Amino acid sequence: MTDENSDGLWKTRNLFEILNNTFSKVYSPSEHLAVDEVIFFKEGSFSDNTYPKKHKRFGIKIYKPCDETG
Asked whether the predicted pLDDT for residue 5 surpasses 70, the reply is no
Residue environment code for 51-69, b if the CB has 16+ CB neighbours within 10 A, otherwise e: eeeeeeeebeeeeeeeeee
Residue environment code for 15-45, b if the CB has 16+ CB neighbours within 10 A, otherwise e: eeeeeeeeeeeeeeeeeeeeeeeebeeeeee
Q: Where are the domains of the chain?
A: 30-70
Q: Write down the pTM of the prediction.
A: 0.42
Name the band, by pLDDT with cuts 50, 70 and 90, for residue 19.
very high
Residues 31-50: tens digit of each pLDDT: 888 998 887 776 665 555 55
